[in-house]
Amino acid sequence: MTQTIENSSKSAPHVSLSLDNVELAETYEEVSVRQFNHGKVLVATLRLRGGDQVLDVGCGTGRLGAYVADLIGAGGQVVGVDPLPLRIDIARRKHPRFRARVGRAEDLSDFADQSFDAAYANSVFHWVEDKPRALSELKRVLKPGGRVAINSADGERPHQSATLVREAVIEEGLGHVHAASGFGTNFRVSGGELRQLLSAAGFADVRVEPHTFVDTLSGVDDLIAWSTSSSFGNFLSDLDQAQLARVRARLGRKLDALRTPQGIQLERHLVFASAKRP
């Protein structure tokens, strides 16, 4: 993850790593089942084997890393890095088989060359500013033939929730806030951009595929809790309390209009990529 982020076609704000707190980190551990579920789809592309040495970049609270540890068995090892210390604390406490440490995608200097059989970055790449550097580091720490899997929020298709947030902030006369871009605060890439980045970094057998997931939400508080904890506090962080209350009320009405007997179902768009070090 990183601090200064911009969309390829829209300017975006300074993204802070200092807004995270204990409540947000604990909330993320509770609500990040959405990231966990699509992370399992991502990990499946790696075709992991028992005994593999695996790197989890942007591991968060360690839920996916613990799942991978079970996949590879006692003979393997999963190591995770994340720049948010409070989330690393949860990973260490709740998932003892998963080794986690504070670190960033752009600097994997804690790891020697050719240390891992596989690496993945789930729900992380859209927070990374210096993508070429991060991919260079991933290639360096992979063994020859090592596999990498990455996903990103789609830079060409905003999530349905982001579109609703955009409408709400604009309708409240807050078109100057970053959420009004429709892409929020992160640095998304399209499938074509992701393919180009991996190829330029020297990866082979690059495969890119768009995915759409449908999330079921209970209401506006569910969406805000998930969005705020997933963005480590950056979601709508440029609003004051009065503005936030107005946006929340309007967004709640928009979500309620979409309610079905199954709940509020919204589409979320990502691009997945897999490749290998030659």
The pLDDT of residue 96 is: 86
Residues 59-108: pLDDT tens digits? 999 999 999 999 999 999 999 999 999 999 999 999 988 899 999 999 99
The pLDDT of residue 181 is: 80
Per DSSP, the residues of 1-49 read: --SB---SSS--PBPPSS---HHHHHHHHHHTHHHHHHHHHHHHTT---
Query: Domains of the chain (ranges plus CATH)?
Result: 22-157+186-214+269-276 (3.40.50.150)
Closest CA to 57 of 115, 133, 134: 134
pTM exceeds 0.95, yes or no: no
- Residue 56, SS3? strand
Residues 61-72: pLDDT tens digits? 999 999 999 999
Residues 5-30: pLDDT tens digits? 333 334 444 678 999 999 999 999 99
Q: Are 119 and 79 in contact (CB under 8 A)?
A: no
Distance, CA of 272 to CA of 252 (rounded, Å): 31
- Residue 10, SS3? coil
